Amino acid sequence: MRVNILSLLLLLGAHAGLTLGQAWPFGPFVTSGRWIHNSQGKNVTYAGANWPGAADVMIPEGLQYASITSIVSGIKSLGLNVIRLTFAIEMIDDIYDNGGDKTLLVAFQKALGTANGLKVYNQVLAKNPSFNATTTRVQVYDAVAAECLKQQIYVHLDNHMSKGGWCCSTDDGNSWFGDTYFDVTKWKRGLNYMATRGAKWGNMMSIGLRNELRQPSNNAAVSATYNWETWYTNVVAAAKGVNAANPNTLIFLSGLGFDTTLAPLTTGANLGSGTVFRKSDFTFANKLVLEIHNYQNSATSCSSITSGLYTDGFNALDTTNSAIKNVFPVVMTEFGYDQTDTSYTGVYATCLRSYLPAQKAGWMLWALGGSYYIRSGTQDFDETWGLYNHDWSAWRNSNSLSAIKSMAAATLA
């Protein structure tokens, strides 16, 4: 009897804790000027890695080689605190329009063919025995998030593609609002679906509305609408929808040119026809974060990288510059380099490894995994930029890894 009362009290305590944000992850997060704060008013900075799931199979990568538990344990061992978990809108379109989400076997066979699909499916089940014949793709997302919750890793969701596949090119039909596969209505529906689903996970703290917007090279009509004014119309509407679906989540806004510039947003410049981005126009301004990517891997000068980053969006962190009209947190949600050679000692890698922690800016490396189920038509594609080796069993490059560990420690110090 005593034991039962005790359990009941513990249960009530745990429940109250979750409700009031008094337990990890201390959500929801809000922004305050250039900082992200948790529910205790403490600064939170992201230090993490990209875990891709938006390619053809539309299932988080690597599960034929390793269990979710061991992959997440590896992330934890590096001192990282977040994953950027990418998804494709096509998965949600299937849920609404095509009779429901696909089971794992169907998804693998569609992308890899009957024989290879079956083989990889069986490998996934062998490594991850909690899955079975009825498990669907989105249930794998649930399972990844659940393990991250257990190991106290935040989940940042990212809409990477509309049609599942390797991202990004200017002729892949996913480049810009209204492109061949980029149906704006379905995009918003998919974002709202994942924002709502993520709300149940407990550790989904933020969502990126769209990865690497870019001008299509093969679609003249859509190309003609590639400008900041079109960006404003679509992104503001999508952000409002996500905020209504999940008022707790932070919403990450990405820029143009493969998300390499946010320039007119931070300075409050005219985006076209007098449209101006003003933080104060949002009722949920304290949920908005800017994200930027950088792949200047062949740069020869760190100062040229960092001065470019400043004008392209990191100036949103600068509370001392009166030209900056919109102060926001800025997170570099993608950067990365070859893990199979000495790139980690080069100008680019060393520059960002010192610059980002010095700004106390968040970051996510591309990429966590050493291979893809399929990328651009090649099955079991080797990801030489992956932190894990090809079969996700060990790190690729221990010297590079210790530099990343130090970067994480400096960021979170």
Ligand X SMILES: *[C@@H]1O[C@H](CO)[C@@H](O)[C@H](O)[C@H]1NC(C)=O
Q: In the complex, which residues of this chain contact ligand X (CB under 6 A)?
A: 35, 41-43, 131-132, 134-135, 139, 360
Could you tell me the smallest distance in angstroms from the CB atom of residue 201 to ligand X? 14
In the bound state with ligand X, the residue whose beta carbon lies nearer, of 131 and 177, is: 131
In the bound state with ligand X, the residue whose beta carbon lies nearer, of 139 and 218, is: 139
Could you tell me the smallest distance in angstroms from the CB atom of residue 44 to ligand X? 9
In the bound state with ligand X, the residue whose beta carbon lies nearer, of 13 and 41, is: 41
Q: How far apart are CA 254 and CA 209, in angstroms?
A: 7
Could you tell me the smallest distance in angstroms from the CB atom of residue 29 to ligand X? 12
- The conformation of residue 323, written as its DSSP 8-state character, comes to T
In the bound state with ligand X, the residue whose beta carbon lies nearer, of 35 and 295, is: 35
Asked whether the bond before 367 is cis by omega within 30 degrees of 0, the reply is yes
Letter for the amino acid at 370? G
Among all chains, which residue has been given the structure tokens 């974060």?
A: 289
Could you tell me the smallest distance in angstroms from the CB atom of residue 42 to ligand X? 6
In the bound state with ligand X, the residue whose beta carbon lies nearer, of 206 and 261, is: 206
In the bound state with ligand X, the residue whose beta carbon lies nearer, of 73 and 139, is: 139
Could you tell me the smallest distance in angstroms from the CB atom of residue 294 to ligand X? 23
Asked whether the bond before 167 is cis by omega within 30 degrees of 0, the reply is no
Could you tell me the smallest distance in angstroms from the CB atom of residue 142 to ligand X? 8
What string of DSSP letters covers 207-274?
EES-S-----SS-HHHHTT-SHHHHHHHHHHHHHHHHHH-TTSEEEEE-BTTTTB-HHHHTT-B-STT
Q: How far apart are CA 368 and CA 300, in angstroms?
A: 26
Q: Give the tokens for residue 259.
A: 């998300």
Q: How far apart are CA 264 and CA 365, in angstroms?
A: 26
Q: φ and ψ at 52, to 5 degrees? A: -70, 140
Could you tell me the smallest distance in angstroms from the CB atom of residue 276 to ligand X? 29
Q: How far apart are CA 14 and CA 7, in angstroms?
A: 10
3-class SS string, 342-384:
CHHHCHHHHHHHHHHHHHCCEEEECCCCCEEEEECCEEEEECC
Beta bridge partners of 47: 363
In the bound state with ligand X, the residue whose beta carbon lies nearer, of 134 and 322, is: 134
In the bound state with ligand X, the residue whose beta carbon lies nearer, of 32 and 342, is: 32
Could you tell me the smallest distance in angstroms from the CB atom of residue 112 to ligand X? 20
